[in-house]
Structure 1
Amino acid sequence: MDSTISVSKGCFVFKNGATRAQKGTTKSKKAKQSIAPLLGKEITDQPFYKTYSQTWTNFITDIEALQRECCSKTLGDLVDHIGKAYSGDSSSVKNILPAAALLTGINQPDHHEQFETLSQRIKEQLSASVCVIQSRDCSSIKAAVETMVYGFVEEPFEEDEDDRDHKRLRRSQCTMQVLVEWHKSSNADASLVVILPDFECFNGKILQDFILILSSYCAKIPIVLILGVATAVSALHSTLPYHVTSKIRLKIFQTQAAPVGLNEILEKVILSPKHSVRLSGKAFKFLTHIFLFYDFSINGFIQGFKYCLMEHFFQGNAYALCTSYWSSLKMIKSLTHEDMETIRHLLSFRPYVEALNDCQKVIAILTDDGYLKKKLPKLLRDCHLHFVYFRTFLEFLTVLVQNLPKSPLGKLQRELYCNCLSKDITDTTEFKESWQMLGFMSKDEFVASVSRAITATSDFVTSQDEDLDLTEIFRPKINEKLDALKELLTKVVMAGMEVKIHSKASNSDLKDDLKQISRHDLKEKLLQMSKQEKPISDFTKSVNETLDFIKIHIVEEYLKPLTKAPPLYELFVFSDIATVRRNIIGAPRAALHMALNNPNYYLQCKCCELDSNLSMVPTLPDLSVAYKLHLECGKMINLFDWLQSFRSVVDYSEEDQEQVDPEIQARFTRAVAELQFLGYIKTSKRKTDHVTRLTW
């Protein structure tokens, strides 16, 4: 008899060596699974993609190393606190629950990664069991306890594929007594760490009862509670009353603020001269504004920056030259005619050609690819040197002006970066105000400020020497500027404060002259006297010379806007802000209008093709037909007229039918309900058979 033949209906299972599906898998298991690449070999083998991959790998490696360095101290102290929670004198007080509050800041999207890193570190260093409980799983105190116990007892077995004989517990069986027995049978010395990453989202009454339950069991099992607080310590006091806080021994830990972390990433990684690709002032400001005004998510900023890199390199193989200088020289030979044409179409290439005086050179550089390839090394070298000088003296200017009253040019390097790339900063009111404040400083303040800027610049160049190409070219030039500035600063230190007056007329002679001249001559004499230069001290003269040197030989020479940058700077600077804005910040209303007004734009089906946006065909979705008809109406829409119009489109017939087909009416009702859900219409209380249009 066939194995699939049965007297009654049934389901026949053939194991065939298959294993049961796992609800949860660890990251290591996911990494082992082979994932088909999204892009084909025709893309991944291109030079621009290889350069993009290498560039992004360098960026993300440096960012992750910096983030580990910033978080290591706080997380290390927190892990040490957990390890000492039940050792020595810490465990002397009964029924007092050891707890820690980790102030994470309001950057909610990054919290998951922070607590995941913390959990991993606790497991590695303390061999403790960790359970992360989300507020969405704690609708009641019973659900909170069951989630915690299940997380400790069952989740390790869910991740273990080999342990199939383990007797599973239902959530309703997960009680505190089960947790106590499990802990005694497994490892009586290991601590149980309970992490609540979103403290503010928990119900206050449930959280209070949960803490009291944990405190009553901390004498039997070593439980440590960690609270993730996004706002401030005051949130703890407002949520937990005295009878709850008296049952916990709380210690506060604070992570690095999100804006501070972002500034470190920008200054030490993204703006570092060892990376060739850069953002224009507008693109840079756009990404920072998303961070500051939307979510404070560092991870979101990094992903936005990654998208800018993709858009930059995917413009063609010519952009593969956006790498280190010596690597770019190797790629010049592999450039095709299309790549050379891409370079010739850059906006900065035209002024370079127009500056050539020899007609033969102009013709050669526009038509001969070989001749242009010979010129590329010098053009690329000029671009690399320009951006190294720009970043180096940006460090100088930032340190010089960041402590001025009200900080007209800004306190942060990212603010100066945007301003210097976008416009000629010396022509701005803020720059003139800053220079005026520097001129008003006392001798000690001025010397200290300029000395700090020189020291910071020297340290920056020294720290970047190993990672940069063309060091033998830019290092002597930077040292030359700094040495000249030190000499001027020495003159400021040696200058006196006395005002020297070379010519001084006696008061009696001046009075006699005033008595003998007419009113008109007196007016002219006073005007001439007002135009004479006022006597100044040697100190003021030396300060003015120093500020003029900084303005002319540093700011105007090296901190130039992109319009004055060397030719081919577009290969190194991403400036397509419109594309980034369109893809990173969505326009839901425009997308909805496009989808409903022209469904073929998204569906790409032949049945929805339209001759124009105003036309309609019966094969359009009902929602699209109702939407296009509602655009033709005024503020108040008569439902009966709307239904008749809808019927005339989707079920047109020359015979005049008084009775509406119930199927057509049901389709219309559903379309109207969907439009109301999307917010295009609402019901009217004035007229029951009308709806009100909400968008125009």
Structure 2
Amino acid sequence: MDSTISVSKGVFVFKNGATKAAKTRRKKQKCHSLLDKATNESLWYRSYHKLWDKISEQLVKLQVTSYEKILDDLLAFVEDCRRQSVEYDGVLPTAALLTGINQIDHLSQFETLAGNIRNNTYSLVVLLQSRDCPSIKVAVEAIVSGFVEEQRLAEDSESKQFRRNQLNLGVLRAWYQEKHQHLDRKPNLTIIMPDFEVFAPEVLQDLILVLNSYAAELPFVLIFGVATSVATVHSVLPYHVSSKIKLSIFQSEPSVVNLNKVLNSVILTPTCPFHLSGKTFKLLVDIFLFYDFSVKGFIEGFKYAVMEHFFQGNIYALCSVTNDRDDLEEAIDLLSSADLENIRQLMSFRPLIESLDNPQEVIDFLTKDDYLRRMLPSLIIDVHNFWFTFHCALEMLQVLTLDLPKSPLGKQLRELYGLCISTEVTQTDEYRECAQLLQFTSKDEILQKLLKMLEIIVKYSDLNDEATIRGEVIFEVEPLEKINNDLEAFATTIAQAGMNLVAEQASEMNTTFTSQKIGRQELKEKLLNAARQPKTESVFTKEVNRLISYITNDIFRKYLCPLSRGPPLFELFVFNDAASVRRHIVGVPRAAVHTALNNPHYYLQCECCELDGDSNLVSTLPDLSVAYKLHLECGRMINLFDWLQAFRTVVDENNGDDNERQVDPKIQARFTRAVAELQFLGFIKTSKKKTDHVTRLTW
């Protein structure tokens, strides 16, 4: 008899020789790119890939540095749990990691933590998520299965697996004692719960009590991922449960601090050639601050902007070949005539042409591709120099205004960047307020700010020296050298300045008014005359005013140029399509649902659903779409019988031959189902006033 022939009905399974090891090998295989060969070899894609690899490498290093301290503390905690077993007698050692509310970043953070515990401590680790623990039985099965599988992977053995009904803590105890009875050093059993708040309280309480009953024989260690505060742990766990754990608190950096580190160390730096316009940058920051607090989400949005920028054409590949002059010239040689014409169509190219005095040079720029190729390297390097001095001046502005009362310009570099890239910062009321506040600062504060500004100039000079050593394009540092010399001169003058003139003037005024008795009217006239006289300023006040005038006109107004005054070809380095970022990143579920129900052809792309207009109705539309379009024509209260008759008129081709009161049961069932689906989607609700009516909820 064949293997698929049976007396009774059944389902026949064929494994085709597939084993778990083979499935694991297939999972570990690298996924192939969905892009074709032409796209992978195109200039813009290679440049995009090169730039993003550099940015992602810097982000990984920064993430490792940011998490290093908290990871070291947690690793030390896990190690101490094994060494100080007497201290945890009768209780479970538990760590609560306060991670903040950026839920999207949690899983990757705890996966990194689990890997570090495996590699740097003698522990078996299970990552237990709330979705895998609907009940205490399933939670215990997941824990036992995870520890057994962890041991098997560590030993690379093919031992027989336990059956599902064998997965309990008694079996785990016997298995653990059998595996490690001859070892002097036994591993910890670490259970990590990334989403503590999402666990069902009953499951969590029962699980802790059960684990505590085996704590004398199994060295469990618990790590909770708490997104809110420690009070959540005490509210979820009553006293009879919380008394079974010994809680240690660990605080990770807030997500806002992590975002500032990413921006200050990777994105808003002169080594990152790609920049966002003011609107696009503000959109990504607002999504972070008002939606999810996810640094990972911000990075993904930034990556989308980078990808969209390069996808516009090969000319944008000049953005990634930032420092290597040979690579820059090679990329320019690969540009076609059409690409060069696209460069001529840039908005910033016209001011360049209009600034030329030689007519022949204008003709060469506009008509000769070879001439444009020769001039492009110097134009691109000018853009790099623009961003180099822009970021230097931006950091100097932050140092100058950081600790002013009420921080009119903000405290973070991201706030200053969004303002300076969009407007003339020196013309804003906020900057004028900062300039007035600087006039009232003390000598020590002014000198401290000047010292920090000089340190920034030294830092940028060192960046240029490092680029020189690597054989890269050398930035123009002559402006920085001049600024450095001028600020040093100001610092010397202000340090030596005094308040003598002010004291002498006040002494003369007191002598005038106290040496002789004068009447009220005469005193009034003297005060008015004194007010009309030009004010005599001290040397210190004069030097501070000169300093503020200098940094305003010769530094910030000159180098903090908005994009409207950007250098030629700056568009190759700036992504300005905020609408595209909003459309692809910020979801609009209500609009998408309306489009799907009002015009199913938009998503289904089938001929039967194609409509000449959005208001048309055809019988081939899905029942839900027909009911939705009919309900749009009604008011607040919808009569179900009238709605059914209209639905029947559309979907039933033979409705003219039947009595109006006689409705096909199949059509009525289809209508009932469509109404129930609309109610589930939240478009209607049943009415308590009229039983044969429903209430429309959207307008």
Q: CA deviation at 1:429?
A: 1.3
Partner residue, 1:566: 567
Partner residue, 1:115: 110
Deviates more, 1:648-657 or 1:413-422: 648-657
What is the CA–CA distance in structure 2 between the aligned matches of 1:392 and 1:331, rounded to whole Å?
Answer: 28
Change (3 A) 1:208 1:11: closer
Q: CA deviation at 1:432?
A: 1.0
Q: CA deviation at 1:578?
A: 0.3
Partner residue, 1:166: 160
What does 1:236-635 correspond to in 2, within 5 Å? Answer: 236-323=233-320, 324-325=322-323, 326=325, 327-463=327-463, 465-467=465-467, 472-499=474-501, 532-635=533-636
Q: CA deviation at 1:20?
A: 3.6
Partner residue, 1:32: 29
What does 1:181-220 correspond to in 2, within 5 Å? Answer: 181-188=174-181, 189-220=186-217
Deviates more, 1:684-693 or 1:573-582: 684-693
Change (3 A) 1:623 1:19: same
Q: CA deviation at 1:7?
A: 6.6
Deviations 1:421-447 (A, max 9, x none): 011111111111111111101111111
What is the CA–CA distance in structure 1 between the aligned matches of 2:157 and 2:218, rounded to whole Å?
Answer: 28
What is the CA–CA distance in structure 2 between the aligned matches of 1:309 and 1:643, rounded to whole Å?
Answer: 52
Which residue type is aligned with residue 340 of structure 2?
M
Deviates more, 1:263-272 or 1:186-195: 186-195
1:68 has 2:72 as partner: no
What is the CA–CA distance in structure 1 between the aligned matches of 2:60 and 2:395, rounded to whole Å?
Answer: 23
Q: CA deviation at 1:248?
A: 3.0
What is the CA–CA distance in structure 1 between the aligned matches of 2:21 and 2:472, rounded to whole Å?
Answer: 55
Which residue type is aligned with residue 190 of structure 2?
V
Deviates more, 1:645-654 or 1:47-56: 645-654
Q: CA deviation at 1:106?
A: 1.5
What is the CA–CA distance in structure 2 between the aligned matches of 1:203 and 1:611, rounded to whole Å?
Answer: 51
Change (3 A) 1:78 1:655: closer
Deviations 1:464-494 (A, max 9, x none): 6425887644233212212211111111111
Change (3 A) 1:569 1:624: same
Q: Are the aligned partners of 1:135 and 1:201 in contact in 2 as well (CA < 8 Å)?
A: yes
Which residue type is aligned with residue 179 of structure 2?
S
Aligned length: 683
Q: Can you give the 5+ residue segments of structure 2 that lack an aligned partner in the other structure?
A: none
Q: CA deviation at 1:598?
A: 1.9
Identity percentage of aligned residues:
50
What is the CA–CA distance in structure 2 between the aligned matches of 1:673 and 1:315, rounded to whole Å?
Answer: 46
Q: Are the aligned partners of 2:305 and 2:575 in contact in 1 as well (CA < 8 Å)?
A: yes
Q: CA deviation at 1:285?
A: 1.4
What is the CA–CA distance in structure 1 between the aligned matches of 2:563 and 2:449, rounded to whole Å?
Answer: 28
Deviates more, 1:564-573 or 1:347-356: 347-356
Runs of 4+ in 1 over 4 A off after TM superposition: 1-16, 21-25, 154-162, 467-473, 500-508, 525-532
Partner residue, 2:125: 130
Change (3 A) 1:2 1:413: closer
Q: TM-score, normalised by structure 2?
A: 0.90
What is the CA–CA distance in structure 2 between the aligned matches of 1:242 and 1:596, rounded to whole Å?
Answer: 52
Q: CA deviation at 1:13?
A: 6.1
SS in 2 for 1:86: helix
Deviates more, 1:185-194 or 1:545-554: 185-194
Q: Are the aligned partners of 2:95 and 2:223 in contact in 1 as well (CA < 8 Å)?
A: yes
What RMSD, in angstroms, separates the aligned Cα atoms of the two structures?
A: 3.3
Partner residue, 1:180: 173
SS in 2 for 1:655: coil
Q: Are the aligned partners of 1:192 and 1:223 in contact in 2 as well (CA < 8 Å)?
A: yes
Partner residue, 1:152: 147
Q: TM-score, normalised by structure 1?
A: 0.90
SS in 1 for 2:685: strand
Change (3 A) 1:258 1:11: closer
SS in 1 for 2:454: helix
Which residue type is aligned with residue 39 of structure 1?
L
Which residue type is aligned with residue 371 of structure 2?
Y
What is the CA–CA distance in structure 1 between the aligned matches of 2:345 and 2:187, rounded to whole Å?
Answer: 66
Which residue type is aligned with residue 673 of structure 1?
A
Q: Are the aligned partners of 1:96 and 1:248 in contact in 2 as well (CA < 8 Å)?
A: yes
Deviates more, 1:568-577 or 1:97-106: 97-106
Change (3 A) 1:561 1:151: same
What is the CA–CA distance in structure 1 between the aligned matches of 2:541 and 2:455, rounded to whole Å?
Answer: 23
Change (3 A) 1:141 1:467: farther
What is the CA–CA distance in structure 2 between the aligned matches of 1:36 and 1:7, rounded to whole Å?
Answer: 46
Q: Can you give the 5+ residue segments of structure 1 that lack an aligned partner in the other structure?
A: none
What is the CA–CA distance in structure 2 between the aligned matches of 1:193 and 1:392, rounded to whole Å?
Answer: 48
What is the CA–CA distance in structure 1 between the aligned matches of 2:171 and 2:375, rounded to whole Å?
Answer: 77
Which residue type is aligned with residue 410 of structure 2?
G
Q: Are the aligned partners of 2:385 and 2:476 in contact in 1 as well (CA < 8 Å)?
A: yes
Q: CA deviation at 1:618?
A: 2.1
Partner residue, 1:221: 218
Q: CA deviation at 1:645?
A: 2.2
What is the CA–CA distance in structure 1 between the aligned matches of 2:232 and 2:3, rounded to whole Å?
Answer: 65
What is the CA–CA distance in structure 1 between the aligned matches of 2:197 and 2:655, rounded to whole Å?
Answer: 64
Q: CA deviation at 1:656?
A: 4.5
Q: CA deviation at 1:75?
A: 0.8
What is the CA–CA distance in structure 2 between the aligned matches of 1:676 and 1:15, rounded to whole Å?
Answer: 44
Change (3 A) 1:138 1:657: same
Deviations 1:265-299 (A, max 9, x none): 11101112112111112111111111111111111
